[in-house]
Amino acid sequence: METGKKTQRKVGVREVLMGSVLLNSEVLRWLPVVGLIAFLGLLMISTRFRGEKILRETVEVQDEVKDLRSESATLSAELMNMSRYSVILREVQKRELGLKQASEPPKKLKVKKL
């Protein structure tokens, strides 16, 4: 007779469904390992969801940056067009500001120090 070996008995479907398998000493021995694996699985799932959320936010921000760049280029082109000499002259005449184009070139003023 072998006294050192434990007898292994098969776990049936009925024992699993009734819950009596949880009282088995072999199952109780592996319970911390199963708990750790379940915890790590939940941690992995939550990390993946968080990563996907950050990725979606990154894509939204990149799209917004593209839109703002194109808007900036459009506004810059409009500003360049509005600052042309002919456009400024036309706007001054249209608003009747009373400004006239100088017929003489500008001169430097010299100030004498006392």
For the four alpha carbons of 68, 71, 75 and 77, in that order, the dihedral sign comes to positive
Quote the pLDDT of residue 1. 46
Mean pLDDT on 65-91:
93
| Alpha-carbon dihedral sign for residues 63, 64, 67, 68 | negative
How sure is the predictor about 29, in pLDDT bands with cuts at 50, 70 and 90? confident
Q: How confident is the model at residue 56 (pLDDT cuts 50, 70, 90)?
A: very high
| pLDDT digit string, tens, across residues 92-111 | 889 888 888 888 998 899 99
Q: How many CA atoms lie within 13 A of 77 on its CB side?
A: 6
Q: How high is the mean pLDDT of the chain?
A: 86
Mean pLDDT of 77-88: 90
pLDDT at 9 over 80: no
Report how far residue 101's alpha carbon sits from residue 82's, in angstroms, rounded to the nearest whole number: 18
Residue 72 — left, alpha, or beta (φ > 0 → left; ψ -120 to 50 → alpha)?
alpha
**4 or 19, greater pLDDT:** 19
- In the predicted structure, residue 27 carries a pLDDT above the cut 50: yes
Element (H, E) at 108: none
Q: How far apart are CA 93 and CA 73, in angstroms?
A: 28
